[in-house]
Amino acid sequence: MNTYTKLPLSLLAMALSCMMVTNAIANDAPAAASAKPKAAAASGPSDDDLSKALLNKINKGSGDIVIRTGDLPAGNPPAQAKPEAKPRVASAPPPAKPVEKEPIEVVQWSYMDGPGGPENWGTISKENLACMKGKSQSPININVDRAVKAEMTPLEFLYRPSPLSIIDNGYTVMVNYGEGSNLIAEGRQYRLVQFHFHKPSEEAVNGDRTDMVVHLVHQHHEGDLLEVSVLMTTKPPATTRRYLWGNDEVKGNSLIQTLWNNVPLVKGKVETPGVTIDVNQLLPANRGYFTYMGSLSTPPCTENVLRYVMKTPIYVTEEQVKNFDRIYPMNARPLQPKGDRLVKESTGN
């Protein structure tokens, strides 16, 4: 069905003139104003098309002018505006999973070969640098022929009994000694703090190490350290008398046996069994000694430790040594270079 518009002639003439004015104004507009989306232009016949069709009808001279859709030039169907594409919002990446760090293995120092062995003590911790770079480390070999014989003040042991407090600390059997026991050396007084054991002896005399050694650790009130090393041997004393039917019975060290009887079953646990001990039982009758400046023989290997090594060993039985061996078969540091250090030997008892 055709759509049409029926208008009087006068009105059509007026409409035509208005259209022509409108077209003239539109043609004078800036080019930028006409640069509109094609979609808007394609919505229907333009004003130009409409005016041309109207002029054709007027020229034909008919009374009422009827303009049908067929008189108009064919145009493109109105284009449907495409919906504006919404900007894509980038989705946030999933939170990164925390990287699981492998636990750092802490190397413990030990007496065995390996990462924690004596040759690596200085690299385990910066606190142990003296173990690697120190120039006055202990233990050393004492060459008796090279020791300076000197008349020195005897060591004065002012020890008294103490309640037993014993611990297996994972490296040795150690006894924490009570207050009131002191040592006077070179006119200075040092308090006995603790004593512990090594197998074999750490110090060597003329290249020989004894079965065991006990280290008596002392400290001055200003912080200086002093250690007394008492060598222990299973060789019976030379004073033992021999008879046709045998030798005098040589008994083991009673204090050592008391300690072994009370070693804790759990490492790191302190036992206070209510027993009183007397450290004087670990001292030899002959109080002659060697002395030199050294260090602690365990990490951190602190230097400037005044060391005394008793010349005469004390006697212990093979069974007593075997009992310690069942706990610590070997817990002695290798011998360290003596360097240019001076070793003195006391000439008195």
pLDDT at residue 56 greater than cutoff 80:
no
Q: Binning pLDDT at 50, 70 and 90, where does residue 238 land?
A: confident
pLDDT digit string, tens, across residues 303-316: 999 999 999 999 99
In this predicted model, which residue has the larger pLDDT, 11 or 48?
A: 48
Q: Are 289 and 344 in contact (CB under 8 A)?
A: no
Domain ranges of the chain: 4-71, 137-346
Q: Are 194 and 181 in contact (CB under 8 A)?
A: no
Distance of alpha carbon 236 from alpha carbon 286, whole angstroms: 15
Lowest-pLDDT choice from 46-50, 93-97, 174-178, 310-314: 46-50
**What is the DSSP code (8-state) at residue 83?**
P
**Amino acid 307: pLDDT:** 98
Lowest-pLDDT choice from 1-15, 157-171, 250-264, 328-342: 1-15
Average pLDDT over residues 146-150: 97
Distance of alpha carbon 76 from alpha carbon 49, whole angstroms: 13
Residue 179: name the closest of 195, 163, 199 by CA.
Answer: 163
Distance of alpha carbon 348 from alpha carbon 139, whole angstroms: 24
Q: Are 146 and 338 in contact (CB under 8 A)?
A: no
**Amino acid 36: pLDDT:** 45
Average pLDDT over residues 117-143: 97
Q: Are 311 and 154 in contact (CB under 8 A)?
A: no
Average pLDDT over residues 241-264: 83
**Amino acid 35: pLDDT:** 43
Largest CA distance in the chain: 172
Distance of alpha carbon 321 from alpha carbon 91, whole angstroms: 74
In this predicted model, which residue has the larger pLDDT, 113 or 245?
A: 113
Q: Binning pLDDT at 50, 70 and 90, where does residue 70 land?
A: low
Rg, C-alpha atoms of the chain = 54
Sign of the torsion angle spanned by Cα atoms 119, 120, 125, 126:
positive
In this predicted model, which residue has the larger pLDDT, 39 or 138?
A: 138
Average pLDDT over residues 319-346: 98
Average pLDDT over residues 268-287: 97
The strand pairing partners of 166, in sequence order, are 175, 271
Distance of alpha carbon 227 from alpha carbon 219, whole angstroms: 9
Q: What is the CATH number of domain 137-346?
A: 3.10.200.10
